[in-house]
C-alpha cells in the first residue's frame, strides 16, 4: 500500500511544480487522509524532495517519516535538523484553515510567499487511482445492499424520522462509519435525509439538492416527523461512507401506490440519469451534463418542480470521494471537463406538491471512451412500501 | 421568545462595547443559532444600534430584520440603504472563518480595523440564560433516560460496535438530533464512543479524554469491533443533543462481573465528581477543579491510569452548550473562573489494562453559592450486563 500514497504525494507534488511552488503544508483532515491513508492531528510537509508527517497526536502512529511535534513553531528547527531548506514559496489550505491558523503558520515561514492550495489539491483528488476506484465500488456495493434492505424496515404508522432511524441502524450494521465529511465550513450532515410529503419542498439552509425542515431549528435539514401516509413518496438520501470514500445513492419508496405525476417524474429522473451516464465520458464539459438534464426536464414539462420548488438547487450533481462534495460540480457555469477516474454523483430530483420528492441519485465512475459506470446498484424503480 | 435572543444580542453587544469595537459580523453556524435561535446561511450584522440578519438561504425564513442577499459584497450597499454607517472597527470570527473568507470579508470593510471575536463570543456563550439552562436540564433528562435504557439492549456475543449501534438508535428514538457540534475545525464526532478492552487505551487523534482505534483509519476514534467479553468494562460516552444544547453523560457497564481494580477506580471517579461538584461554585478557578481531581487520583494510587495510559488528556472537563466543547476548560493552565450559569462536563476517567475504561461524566450547572447541579441523572454505579 505504501506505493499508493507515494503515488498520491507525487500527483500533488507535480501540481506544485506546475504552480511553481516549492513546498506545501497540509493540515486538513481530508488531505492528511488523502496523502497518508490515516487521519492524524498535525501536518504533512512536502517539498520537491521529501514528505514528512509532523504528528501532534496520536502517539505510536504506524507511518513512515513521522516526526512528533508539540506545536507548529517547531517546524523550521525540525526541518533544519533534517537538512531541509526552508521554502521561498508555500501552499497553504486557505479555503480550509482558519484565519487565525493562517496567521500563525505564515509567521513560521516569514520568507515564503504563501498561496492557496485548496482548489488545486481538490482538482488532484477529483481523479481517483485504480485503488481508490475499487474502494468506491466496494462502498457502492455495500450501500446498494443496505438500500435494498430498507423497504423491509417500514412499518405502518411510522413517521419519516422513525423510518430514518431504522435505516440509519441498518446502514451502520452493514459497516457505515456514520461520519459524512463535507467540504465547506458551514455544511453539516448527520447521515442523510428522508423526505416525504410537504417537507420535501421545504427550502434548505445548505446548498443541497433538496432541503427539509429538520427536527429542530438548530438542525434545519431533512426529516421533520412527517407521518408517512398512503400515496406519499419517501425519498431516501442516506449517504454511504463505508471506507472513507463516500457514495451517494438516493432511492424512492412510496407508501402504497403514489400519484401518476410522481411516477411520471420519477421515470424522467431515470431517463435523465441514463442520458447523462451515456454522455459522460472523458472530455465532456460538466456544464453540458447540467444542460442536458435541464433540457430533458423541460421537454417533459417538469421544469417547474425540477431540483426544488420553493427554492431551486443550482446543480444536478457533484464529485464525490473523501468528502461528499468533491470537484467537479455539474452546474451551468462549471468550467471543468470530465476526466477518466473522476467519480460523480448525479441527482435529478423533482418535488411533487403534497406527495413528496422523487428522483434517484447514482454515483458514477467516469471512463475514457465509454459511458459512466454506476456503482449504485439498487433497482431504480419506486418500491412500494406495504400498508 | 423574541426577548431571549434580543437579550443574547445585548450580551454580545456589551462585550463589543467593552472591547471598543463598533460592529461585528457573524457567519458561524453556532453563533447564528446563538443570536437568532435558528440556523441560516448568511450573516448576522450587529453594531451598537441594530441587528440585521443577512440571509442567503433558506428562502421564507421566519425571523425579524431579515434582508436577503446573494453575496457578502452587497453588504455595504444594503447597510447604506438602511442608513447604517459603515464601521471603523469590526469583529470577525477569526478562529472559525477560513483565511479565504476573511480576505473576502475584510475587503468589504476596507476602512475598518478587524479583530478576532471568537474567544470573546465564546466567553459570552459560556454563561447561559435561565432559558438556556432549562434546555440543558431537558437535554440532560432525555439523555439520562436513554442511558438507563441502554443495558437492556445488550446481547451476548455483541461487539462494542454492535452495542453502540443499538444505543445510537435508542438515543435517536428518544429525540437525539444526531449531529454533535464541536468547536475547532478538525475535530469530528459521530454520536460518541463506546470503549472496551484494550481499545480503551488506544491514543486518540483528537483532543478527547479517551480515544479508541475506531473502525477505519479514516475515522480513527471510538469503538473498533472489540468483542464484549466477560469481565470487561464498557464505557459509553454517547453525546446527547436533543435541542441544540449538548449534554455529556458517560456511564460504565460491565459484561458480567468486572475486576476489583476497575470497580475501585470507578468509585474514585465518583469520589472525584462529588468533590469537584461540591467545590465548583462561582468564583472558583477552573485549574483548582483540575488540581483537585488529579490530587484525588494520586492519593488513591491511580495517577498512572488517570485520563489515559499510553497518551494522557490534559484536562478533566470542559464547558458544554451549543457546541460540545464550550469554554471553560478544566485544565492546569486554565485562567477562567467559574460563573453562575456556566455548564460544564466533568469526566474523570481511568484506563484499566486489559479490561477497558471506567469513570463517569456528568454535565453540571454552576450556581452562585451552592454546589454544582448535575443534569446527568442516570445512576452512577457500574451496571452489570447480563451474560
Q: Which residue of A has its CA nearest to B159?
A: A173
Name the average pLDDT for chain B: 96
Which CATH number does B2-124 carry?
A: 3.40.350.10
The span from the CA of B44 to the CA of B37, in Å, is 12
The span from the CA of A147 to the CA of B208, in Å, is 34
The ranges assigned to domains in chain A are 2-125, 127-385
Nearest CA of chain A to the CA of B369: how many Å? 32
Residue B185 has pLDDT above 80, yes or no: no
- Looking at residue A127, the DSSP 8-state letter turns out to be B
Q: Which pLDDT belongs to residue B188? A: 85
Residue carrying C-alpha cell 476526466: A339
Residues of B in contact with A310 (CB under 8 A): 59-60
Identity of the residue in A58, A168, A322 whose CB atom sits nearest the CB atom of B205: A58
Count residue pairs from A and B with Cβ separation < 8 A. Answer: 186
Decide if B69 contacts B52 (C-beta within 8 A).
no
The backbone torsions φ and ψ at residue A308, rounded to the nearest 5 degrees and listed phi first, read: 110, 170
- Looking at residue A129, the DSSP 8-state letter turns out to be -
pTM, two decimals, is 0.97
Residues of A in contact with B205 (CB under 8 A): 39-41, 57-58
Question: B206 and A322 in contact by Cβ < 8 A?
Answer: no
Residue from B4, B39, B121, B170 whose CB has the most chain A CBs within 10 Å, to mutate = B39
ipTM over 0.90: yes
Residues of B in contact with A204 (CB under 8 A): 57-58
R_g over Cα of chain B: 22
Kindly report, residue by residue over B328-386, the tens digit of the pLDDT: 999 999 989 999 999 999 999 999 999 999 999 999 999 999 999 999 999 999 999 99
Residues pairing with B116 in the sheet: B92
- Tell me the CA distances in angstroms from B65 to A54, A299, B43, B62, one per residue in order: 47, 41, 12, 10
Decide if A275 contacts A208 (C-beta within 8 A).
no
Q: Which pLDDT belongs to residue A186? A: 75
Q: Which residue of A has its CA nearest to B27?
A: A186
R_g over Cα of chain A: 22
Q: What angle do CA B6, B9, B15 make, to 5 degrees?
A: 145
Other C-beta atoms closer than 10 Å to the C-beta of A256 total 14
The span from the CA of B118 to the CA of A67, in Å, is 31
Name the average pLDDT for chain A: 96
Residue carrying C-alpha cell 517519516: A65
Task: Among 3.10.520.10, 3.30.70.1350, 3.30.950.10, 3.40.350.10, name the CATH number for the domain at A2-125.
Answer: 3.40.350.10
Low-confidence ranges of chain A (pLDDT < 70): 1-2
Decide if A353 contacts A262 (C-beta within 8 A).
no
Q: Which residue of B has its CA nearest to A212?
A: B58
The span from the CA of A162 to the CA of A196, in Å, is 12
Nearest CA of chain A to the CA of B262: how many Å? 24
The backbone torsions φ and ψ at residue B195, rounded to the nearest 5 degrees and listed phi first, read: -120, 130
Kindly report, residue by residue over B112-129, the tens digit of the pLDDT: 999 999 999 999 999 999
Per-residue pLDDT band at B186 (split at 50, 70, 90)? confident
The backbone torsions φ and ψ at residue A288, rounded to the nearest 5 degrees and listed phi first, read: -65, -40
**Cα A73 to the center of its chain, rounded Å:** 33
Question: B29 and A57 in contact by Cβ < 8 A?
Answer: no
Residue carrying C-alpha cell 460544564: B344
Residue from B34, B58, B68 whose CB has the most chain A CBs within 10 Å, to mutate = B58
Decide if B170 contacts B194 (C-beta within 8 A).
no
- Looking at residue A201, the DSSP 8-state letter turns out to be G
Residue carrying C-alpha cell 504506524: A62
**Cα B281 to the center of its chain, rounded Å:** 20
Kindly report, residue by residue over B279-326, the tens digit of the pLDDT: 999 999 999 999 999 999 999 999 999 999 988 999 999 999 999 999
Question: A207 and B181 in contact by Cβ < 8 A?
Answer: no
Nearest CA of chain A to the CA of B377: how many Å? 24
Q: Which pLDDT belongs to residue B1? A: 58
Identity of the residue in A58, A98, A203 whose CB atom sits nearest the CB atom of B59: A203
Residue from A205, A225, A312 whose CB has the most chain B CBs within 10 Å, to mutate = A205
Which grid coordinates are listed for A247?
Answer: 457514495
Give just the sign of the alpha carbon dihedral A83, A86, A92, A97. Answer: positive
Q: What angle do CA B96, A72, B287 make, to 5 degrees?
A: 70
The span from the CA of B383 to the CA of B361, in Å, is 15
DSSP-based three-state secondary structure for B265: helix
Nearest CA of chain B to the CA of A371: how many Å? 31
Residue B228 has pLDDT above 80, yes or no: yes
Question: A205 and B94 in contact by Cβ < 8 A?
Answer: no
Identity of the residue in A29, A59, A219 whose CB atom sits nearest the CB atom of B186: A29
Decide if B87 contacts B108 (C-beta within 8 A).
no
A375 Cβ contact list (under 8 Å, min separation 6): A136, A137, A139, A140, A141, A144, A247, A343, A362, A363, A364, A365
Question: B215 and A175 in contact by Cβ < 8 A?
Answer: yes
Q: Which residue of B has its CA nearest to A183?
A: B185
Question: B204 and A175 in contact by Cβ < 8 A?
Answer: no
Indicate the class that CATH gives domain B127-385. Answer: alpha beta
Q: Which residue of A has its CA nearest to B115?
A: A100
- Tell me the CA distances in angstroms from B267 to A7, A194, A213, B271, B350, one per residue in order: 52, 44, 45, 6, 11
The span from the CA of B20 to the CA of B10, in Å, is 15
Other C-beta atoms closer than 10 Å to the C-beta of A63 total 14
Give just the sign of the alpha carbon dihedral B18, B21, B23, B27. Answer: negative
Amino acid at each position: 500500500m505504501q506505493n499508493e500514497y507515494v503515488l498520491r504525494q507525487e500527483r500533488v507534488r507535480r501540481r506544485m511544480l506546475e504552480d511553481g511552488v516549492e513546498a506545501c503544508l497540509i493540515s486538513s483532515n481530508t488531505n492528511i487522509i488523502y496523502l497518508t491513508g490515516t487521519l492524524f492531528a498535525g501536518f504533512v510537509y512536502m517539498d520537491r524532495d521529501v514528505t514528512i508527517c509532523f504528528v501532534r497526536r496520536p502517539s505510536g502512529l504506524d507511518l513512515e517519516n513521522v516526526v512528533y511535534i508539540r506545536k507548529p513553531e517547531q517546524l523550521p528547527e525540525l526541518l533544519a535538523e533534517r537538512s531541509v531548506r526552508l521554502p521561498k514559496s508555500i501552499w497553504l489550505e486557505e479555503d480550509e484553515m482558519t484565519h487565525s491558523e493562517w496567521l500563525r503558520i505564515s509567521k513560521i515561514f516569514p520568507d515564503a510567499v504563501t498561496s492557496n492550495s485548496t482548489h488545486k489539491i481538490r482538482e488532484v483528488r477529483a481523479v481517483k487511482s485504480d485503488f481508490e476506484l475499487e474502494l468506491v465500488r466496494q462502498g457502492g456495493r455495500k450501500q446498494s445492499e443496505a438500500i435494498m434492505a430498507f423497504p423491509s424496515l417500514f412499518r405502518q404508522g411510522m413517521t419519516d424520522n422513525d423510518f430514518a432511524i431504522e435505516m440509519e441502524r441498518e446502514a451502520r450494521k452493514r459497516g457505515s462509519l456514520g461520519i459524512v465529511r463535507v467540504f465547506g465550513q458551514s455544511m453539516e450532515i448527520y447521515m442523510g435525509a428522508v423526505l416525504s410529503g410537504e417537507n420535501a419542498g421545504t427550502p434548505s439552509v445548505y446548498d443541497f439538492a433538496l432541503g427539509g425542515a429538520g427536527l429542530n431549528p438548530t438542525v434545519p435539514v431533512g426529516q421533520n416527523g412527517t407521518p408517512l401516509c398512503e400515496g406519499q413518496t419517501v425519498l431516501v438520501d442516506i449517504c454511504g461512507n463505508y471506507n472513507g470514500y463516500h457514495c451517494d445513492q438516493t432511492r424512492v419508496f412510496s407508501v402504497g401506490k403514489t400519484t401518476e405525476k410522481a411516477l411520471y417524474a420519477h421515470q424522467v429522473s431515470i431517463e435523465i440519469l441514463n442520458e447523462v451516464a451515456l454522455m459522460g465520458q472523458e472530455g465532456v464539459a460538466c456544464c453540458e451534463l447540467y444542460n442536458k438534464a435541464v433540457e430533458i426536464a423541460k421537454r417533459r414539462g417538469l421544469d417547474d418542480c425540477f431540483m426544488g420548488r420553493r427554492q431551486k438547487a443550482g446543480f444536478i450533481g457533484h464529485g464525490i470521494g473523501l468528502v461528499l462534495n468533491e470537484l467537479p460540480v455539474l452546474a451551468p457555469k462549471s468550467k471543468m471537463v470530465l476526466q477518466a477516474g473522476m467519480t460523480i454523483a448525479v441527482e435529478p430530483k423533482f418535488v411533487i406538491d403534497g406527495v413528496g420528492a422523487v428522483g434517484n441519485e447514482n454515483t458514477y465512475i467516469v471512463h475514457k471512451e465509454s459511458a459512466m459506470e454506476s456503482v449504485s446498484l439498487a433497482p431504480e424503480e419506486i418500491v412500494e412500501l406495504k400498508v
